[in-house]
Amino acid sequence: MAARGGADVNRTLKPSAVSLKANLKRTEVAALRKKVTPASAASTMLAFAFLAVLAGSLAACGPKNSDLPPGTTRPDQFLYDRGMQSLNEKKWLKAREYFREIYDNYPQSSLRPEAKLGIGDSLLGEGSAEALVLAANEYNEFLTFFPTHARADYAQYKLGMTHFEEMLGPDRDQTQTRQAIAEFETFVERFPNSKLMPDVQARLRESRDRLSESNYRVGYFYFRTARWYPGAIDRFRSVLENDPGYTNRDAVYFYLAESLLSVDRAAEALPYYERLIKEFEKSEYLEKANERIESLKKLMAKRN
């Protein structure tokens, strides 16, 4: 961030620099969200370079080597420590500037990979839709450039979190939910011994629950409102097949059984009532399921 005060000429130039940085950010996000041809990619990169040079020349917005204390022997370490301090204080832009100074100007620094993660973390912490897209790009680049780094598992986890933070409710589009699941599953496959596994498993469960809840609600609509039982049966079964650990599967068992019962398939319905009783000590459907089991067994005994 540009320092407050200063000469009149600096105050005159600051709005232009901020505007250029904002335009640069929007251009970056747009480029990341769509596929480009080689020609358009080249022109876009030239635009990025032009805007970046102008923005940097119009205002002193980032930490500079001149800001380093006299006698500093590890300027990269100094910048990294300042970046982490800003990150912990949730000063996202300031932190990002310190980390970018390291990544862009200290190519031989051992802290360069950590700085890349710091940039991603500052964007993830910022949390806007644009920032999350840019954060995902930072983590993807880390995994591309530093695939064997000791913190590659962290980058993969945070990549999943960029999609997790954009997940919508179960009644809305689930594209981000599916992407979060895919990234967390990649983590489980690539880093089975990571200390981050419990956190990833918890987020993966939340993501899968969100997607399964979305599919369950479609099935429930078919059952309750449309009374289209074949459609409800297919939807409920797909939830159980794709996510057998779904947290609220007691509801799926119950309404799948009810749907089967509604089309005179009592023998197929009975096992789902029984699974509900077996797997759930507490459920709002237990009493009704027990009643159904008792009545179905009597009915089937009479038929035999």
The pLDDT assigned to 17 comes to 42
* 0.85 surpassed by pTM: no
CA-CA distance, 93 to 134, in Å (whole number)? 13
The pLDDT tens digits of the residues spanning 85-111 come to 999 999 999 999 999 999 999 999 999
**Interior/surface letters 37-59, b for 16+ CB within 10 angstroms, e for the rest:** eeeeeeeeeeeeeebeeebeebb
What DSSP state is assigned to residue 149?
S
Six token digits for residue 57: 């020349």
What residues does each domain of the chain span?
Answer: 8-33+49-58, 248-303
pLDDT for the residue numbered 134: 98
Per-residue confidence (pLDDT) for residue 10, from 0 to 100: 37
Give the pLDDT of residue 196.
Answer: 99
User: How many residues would you count in the chain?
Assistant: 304
- What is the structure's pLDDT at 69? 80
- pLDDT value for 265: 96
**pLDDT tens-place string over residues 240-263:** 999 999 999 999 999 999 999 999
153 phi/psi in degrees, rounded to 5? -65, -40
Residue 258's H or E segment, with its range, is helix 249-262
Q: Which residue has the tokens 């913190």?
A: 151
CA dihedral 215, 220, 222, 224 (to 10 degrees): -170
pLDDT attached to residue 167: 99
If the chain, 304 residues long, is cut into consecutive pieces of 10 residues, what is the mean pLDDT of each piece?
38 39 50 47 47 41 61 91 98 98 97 98 98 99 98 99 98 98 99 98 99 98 96 98 98 99 96 98 98 92 77
Q: Give the separation between CA 225 and CA 227, rounded to whole angstroms.
A: 6
Q: Give the pLDDT confidence score for residue 63 in this predicted structure.
A: 52
Question: What was the pLDDT predicted at 226?
Answer: 93
The CA dihedral of 44, 24, 182, 35, to the nearest 10 degrees, is -20
